[in-house]
Amino acid sequence: MSTIDWWIVVLSLSLFLGINLFLRKKAGKDRKSFFLGGGNMPWYVLGLSMVATTFAADTPLWVTEKIAQHGISGNWLWWNMMMGGMLTTFFFARLWKRAGILTEPEFIELRYSGVGARWLRGFKALYLGLFLNAIIMGWVNLAMMRILEVFFDLSPDTAFLLTMAILILVALYASIAGLAGIVYTDTIQFFIAMGGSIALAWIVIQQPEIGGMAGMIAQLPEWRLDFFPKIGNNADVGTFSLSLGAFLSYFILQWWNAWYPGAEPGGGGYIAQRMMSAKDEDQALYSVLFFQILHYAIRPWPWIIVGLASLLLYPELPVELSGKGFVMVMRDYLPNGLRGLLLVAFISAYMSTISTQINWGASYLVNDLYARFIKPENTFSNQKSAEKNYVLAGRFSSLILIIAAGLVTTQISSIDQAAQFLIACGAGLGSVLILRWYWWRINAWTEIAATVFPVPVLLFCTVYLEPYFGEGFVQNNGTFYVVVGSTILCWLLVTLITPPTQLGVLKQYALRVRPGGYWPGVGMQEHHFGRESLRWLYAVILGYGCLFALGYFIFLQYTNALLWGVGALLAGVLLIKSNAKISK
């Protein structure tokens, strides 16, 4: 790091802090200002903020590791989730905005009634806002530590202390201006992170050892450049391959029936928070559509180029440490100035993710735990004093979250295994998170059953079924099928034997949200499921068309790029026309 590199780092961090100091007054008014930015934010800023949040410090390293294992096709482990993201865009974005709520757990008492709803809301506030949130921040902290270790040749203890210092800085600016400050800071951080990644990809591809794109293609085995997985026997190294059963589980079931943070069926977490922060329903929809295209189709290609180049530059790196190759490229091949810019890019990616997790988690702890069960509004002399107290509690909750995240960071060693465990634990829950918007019979006990039941079934499969049925059962993702099937049967049974949500609550929900379908006390509501399904299909084709058109163009396969580009263009035109008809 030269002097100019350090100046770039210091000036960038000062800019981030300055943005939040400038917006601090707006955040202190009430909970809606602090946690939703006032609820009137533009779609393009929200979309960029969502992309910046998912641009965590660990993501490029994880993508590099998947490329070392399976080449470009390894990205299908997350590319398949675009279908679920587009489902959220067209079926749920407007509904989240219409709900007029502050947090996802608040939706529970809008939709359900009774002791089950109260218990579920409090449980989700603690489980998602504190426990799971601390684990996610721990993952991101661990990735930042690995980057600092390689970049500066630090010991793990020193890297941990430096990461904690950055974490405290993030908590400081996240608590100053709330979501508005985070979103506008995210926008700047996205352009820094994306611009830095593109610059890194361009520079590394020009190295003599690489010889440009044509040289890299000539040096790599053909399977590393495959865009699509193959159906066949799994292999430790080679094109991402799936048995027929595993293929169907990924592409038919998982993207809509498995819950995972940031990819919740029907929307949830910080994605729902951004939708609820939009100016209106249309802007909520546009923000999520913009996010899906940038997140899946545009952002990964610079990472993929650097990941492939790192295989040629550091062939001695074992597969399990291949993620470090991305950081080593930054360290070894960037000139002064750009080295500081790329470090800022990674710090920006880290800060945008952590700041969102802090604000989002604090919103659950304050709105759905503290204000709901400990210090409700009716215990204050007036609403203004209540809101000031809740904003202060939000800032205090930020401190609790960074302490919890720091403790969790010291206990985490493997991100990938924990992520797979979370997906399996959420199998079968996705169907409830979708149907609760449209089917009146779903109640709080349904969601409780779907949340709790997968865990013991997963443990049963791991301990008994997988050893008994052997490798074929595992390769065909048999555990996932068992967990999903048994969970769906469980929540259906619970739904039928427990009383429905109170009529008054159902009526209030249906009149406010207007989800479509039949609702007792209201009757049949109009919903164009066929039209929205068609728009979802257009958007999926548009997203994958953009993804592969850009990818094939980068890798000099111009005919394929043209075909996918034409498909994306046609899908985009049809999507715009369908939206114009709705507007009329």
Whether 536 shows a pLDDT value over 90: the answer reads yes
- Token pair recorded at residue 249: 């589980």
Give the pLDDT confidence score for residue 233 in this predicted structure. Answer: 61
Over residues 304-361, the pLDDT tens digits come to: 999 999 999 999 888 878 888 998 998 888 888 788 888 888 888 888 889 889 999 9
Given a cut of 90, whether residue 106 has pLDDT beyond it is: yes
Contact in structure between 167 and 355 (CB atoms under 8 Å): no
Please state the φ and ψ torsions of residue 242, each to the nearest 5 degrees: -135, 140
- Binned at pLDDT 50, 70 and 90, residue 139 comes out as confident
Inform me whether the pLDDT recorded for 251 exceeds 50.
Answer: yes
Give the Å distances, CA to CA, from 13 to 17, 19, 164, 390: 6, 10, 15, 28
Token pair listed for 380:
């204050």
Quickly count: other Cβ atoms within 10 Å of residue 383's Cβ.
10
**Has residue 417 got a pLDDT over 70?**
no
For the segment 21-38, what is each residue's pLDDT rounded down to a tens digit?
887 777 767 889 889 988
| pLDDT over threshold 90, residue 105 | yes
Place of tokens 């030269």: 2
Mean pLDDT, rounded, for 434-447: 95
Q: How many whole angstroms separate alpha carbon 531 and alpha carbon 578? A: 8
pLDDT one-digit tens code per residue, 462-472: 899 989 888 88
The tens digit of pLDDT for each residue in 547-574 reads 999 999 999 999 999 999 999 999 999 9
Q: What is the pLDDT of residues 42-62, one digit of tens each?
A: 999 999 999 988 887 778 888
Contact (Cβ atoms closer than 8 angstroms) between residue 544 and residue 551: no
Asked whether residue 414 carries a pLDDT value surpassing 60, the answer given is: no
How many Å from the N-terminal Cα to the C-terminal Cα in the chain? 57
* DSSP code, position 229: -
For the chain, how big is the Rg over CA atoms in Å? Answer: 24
Cβ neighbour number for residue 2 with a 10 Å cutoff:
12
Separation of CA 167 from chain center: 20
Position 174 confidence tier, pLDDT thresholds 50, 70, 90 = confident
176-222: pLDDT as tens digits: 888 888 899 989 988 988 988 999 999 999 999 999 999 999 999 99
- What is the per-residue pLDDT across 499-520, written as a single tens digit (0 to 9) for each? 999 999 999 999 999 999 899 9
Contacts for 326 with CB less than 8 Å, ≥ 6 apart: 60, 61, 64, 303, 306, 307, 310
Q: CA–CA separation, 430 vs 290, rounded Å?
A: 23
Q: List Cβ neighbours of 285 (8 Å cut-off, separation of 6 or more).
A: 43, 89, 90, 93, 94
Output DSSP code: residue 368.
I
Q: What angle do CA 283, 426, 56 make, to 5 degrees?
A: 55
Would you state the structure tokens that stand for residue 432, as one six-digit string?
């409830």
Count Cβ atoms below 10 Å from residue 410 Cβ, excluding itself: 10
Q: Residue 424: pLDDT above 80? A: no
**pLDDT digits 0-9 by tens, 360-388:** 999 999 999 999 999 999 899 898 899 88
Average pLDDT score, the chain: 89
| Three-state SS letters, 232-252 | CCCCCCCCCEECHHHHHHHHH
C-alpha to C-alpha distance for 555 and 564, rounded to whole angstroms: 14
Instruction: Look at residue 419 in the predicted model and tell me its pLDDT.
Output: 61
| pTM of the shown model | 0.90
